[in-house]
């Protein structure tokens, strides 16, 4: 049996719309999940977070990570769950010392600033140094009990490298781009190591129960087109090539998301991924014209629409559905993570509107 002939739902999922949309198989309506759906906009999340202590303590507890992963599913009719974790677990496991400061975001105690430091970086064994993530994946998968599929994820090598070299968040990317332009060989060494680490990490998530994988390339969009291909996309390609694509008789779809990367959709589709995340600045109808039916699109509502009255949310949902058009291959999502000040009731409006308004697009 060829891979493409594998059944979409060998797990006996109660809701397999999300996986079917990614594999471009017929569905009844468009599936939706929301980036950062387990997050600060939910009062129950804030309660668990307060109980946990620090953000990393929350990530490190399989039980609490499971608890917050399931919270949005209790409130909303979402079609997928995503592992609660952070994109910076790998650099932390490599020994850079991750903490989160209020207002400033992630900070590494030991940023990378030399060739020697890059050479010395260990590749973490996901079942040892990142075992807390693997335990969370196993716990969540079991707790989901086939309700919806579980998405595992990682940051992209380029995105991880930006934080590791800058030492935290940045607007100018002076250190990482300085490295890229003045010592490209060292930048490539770092990205190559990160590709191996990310591949190992994602494959371990699949073995523990992740049913779809997503690579968040949050900062690929700050590169020029040729540098994007050389320093970000090439390493996502390497990961895609090394991923477990079928497991226990099921296809494991992989989604690439480069924020600001809509113009590079064709290059992203050429990697052989199953889906591309699209932010709200891109026009999905144009992208669909360019990539055809060979890859699914995920997106792309502006997260700020959730500040609008219900009627406007429904109108904007209708617009996004219209830009994708008829047929399977669309996973609805925001174009970026949900904002923390959104009223949760607006998310219910959104989810219900997507399911209701998308049905006509799936009729023969």
C-beta closer to a second copy: residue 196 or 263: 263
**Structure tokens belonging to residue 82:** 């995503």
Helices 62-75 and 344-358: crossing angle, nearest 10°?
60
The one among 312, 326, 343, 345 contacting a second copy by CB under 8 A: 312
Residue 208 DSSP SS3? helix
Is residue 303 within 8 A of residue 295, CB to CB? The reply is: no
Known active-site residue 132: no
Helices 234-242 and 184-208: crossing angle, nearest 10°?
30
Q: Does the protein bind a second copy through residue 181 (CB under 8 A)?
A: yes
Size of the site for a second copy (CB under 8 A): 37
Which of 201, 184, 213, 216 minimizes the C-alpha distance to 94? Answer: 201
Q: Does the protein bind a second copy through residue 222 (CB under 8 A)?
A: yes
Binding marks (x or -) toward a second copy, 270..299, rule CB under 8 A?
----------xxxx----------------
43 backbone dihedrals φ, ψ, rounded to 5°: -60, -35
Residue among 163, 201, 228, 235 flagged as catalytic: 163
The one among 110, 188, 339, 362 contacting a second copy by CB under 8 A: 339
Please state the closest distance from residue 112 (CB atom) to a second copy, in A.
Answer: 16
The one among 31, 106, 253, 303 contacting a second copy by CB under 8 A: 303
Residue among 40, 46, 115, 207 flagged as catalytic: 40
Bridge partner list, 278: 299
Known active-site residue 86: yes
The one among 44, 127, 192, 302 contacting a second copy by CB under 8 A: 302
Beta-strand (E) ranges in 202-342?
212-217, 246-247, 250-251, 254-258, 275-278, 296-301, 330-334
Known active-site residue 36: yes
Helical residues (DSSP H) of 150-269, grouped into ranges: 157-166, 174-182, 184-208, 225-227, 234-242, 265-269
The one among 75, 173, 352, 362 contacting a second copy by CB under 8 A: 173
Which residue is it, tokens 């680490």?
Answer: 197
Is residue 160 within 8 A of residue 233, CB to CB? The reply is: no
Please state the closest distance from residue 352 (CB atom) to a second copy, in A.
Answer: 18
Which residue is it, tokens 């932010």?
Answer: 279
C-beta closer to a second copy: residue 61 or 186: 186
Cβ atoms < 10 Å from Cβ of 32? 30
The one among 14, 319, 326, 359 contacting a second copy by CB under 8 A: 319
Please state the closest distance from residue 10 (CB atom) to a second copy, in A.
Answer: 38
Bridge partner list, 81: 150
Q: Does the protein bind a second copy through residue 217 (CB under 8 A)?
A: no
C-beta closer to a second copy: residue 15 or 263: 263
* Residues making contact with a second copy (CB under 8 A): 172-174, 177-178, 180-182, 221-228, 260, 262-263, 280-283, 300, 302-305, 307-309, 312, 316, 319, 335, 339, 341
């Amino acid at each position: 049996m060829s891979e493409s002939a594998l059944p979409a739902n060998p797990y006996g999922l109660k809701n397999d719309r999300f996986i079917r949309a990614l594999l471009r198989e017929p569905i009844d309506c468009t599936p939706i999940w929301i980036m950062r759906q387990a997050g600060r906009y939910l009062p129950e999340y804030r309660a668990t977070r307060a109980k946990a202590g620090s953000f990393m303590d929350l990530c490190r507890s399989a039980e609490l990570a499971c608890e917050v992963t399931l919270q949005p599913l209790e409130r909303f009719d979402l079609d997928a769950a995503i592992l609660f974790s952070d994109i910076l677990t790998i650099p932390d496991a490599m020994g850079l010392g991750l903490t989160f400061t209020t207002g400033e975001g992630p900070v590494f105690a030991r940023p990378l600033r030399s060739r020697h430091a890059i050479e010395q970086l260990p590749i973490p064994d996901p079942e040892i140094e990142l075992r807390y993530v693997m335990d969370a994946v196993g716990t969540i998968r079991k707790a989901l009990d086939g309700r919806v599929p579980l998405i595992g994820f990682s940051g992209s090598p380029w995105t991880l490298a930006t934080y590791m070299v800058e030492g935290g968040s940045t607007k100018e990317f002076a250190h990482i781009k300085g490295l890229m332009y003045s010592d490209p060989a060292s930048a490539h060494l770092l990205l190559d190591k990160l590709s191996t680490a990310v591949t190992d990490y994602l494959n371990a998530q699949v073995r523990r129960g992740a049913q779809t994988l997503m690579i968040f390339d949050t900062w690929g969009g700050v590169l020029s087109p040729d540098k994007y291909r050389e320093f970000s996309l090439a390493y996502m390609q390497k990961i895609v090539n090394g991923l477990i694509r079928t497991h226990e008789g099921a296809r494991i779809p992989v989604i690439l998301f480069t924020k600001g990367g809509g113009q590079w959709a064709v290059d992203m589709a050429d990697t052989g991924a199953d889906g591309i995340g699209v932010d709200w600045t891109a026009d999905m109808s144009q992208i669909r014209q360019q990539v055809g039916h060979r890859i699914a699109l995920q997106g792309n509502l502006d997260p700020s629409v959730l500040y609008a009255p219900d009627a406007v949310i429904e109108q904007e949902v209708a617009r996004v559905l219209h830009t994708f058009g008829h047929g399977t291959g669309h996973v609805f999502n925001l174009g970026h993570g949900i904002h923390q000040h959104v009223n949760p009731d607006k998310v219910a409006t959104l989810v219900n509107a997507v399911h209701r308004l998308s049905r006509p697009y799936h009729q023969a």
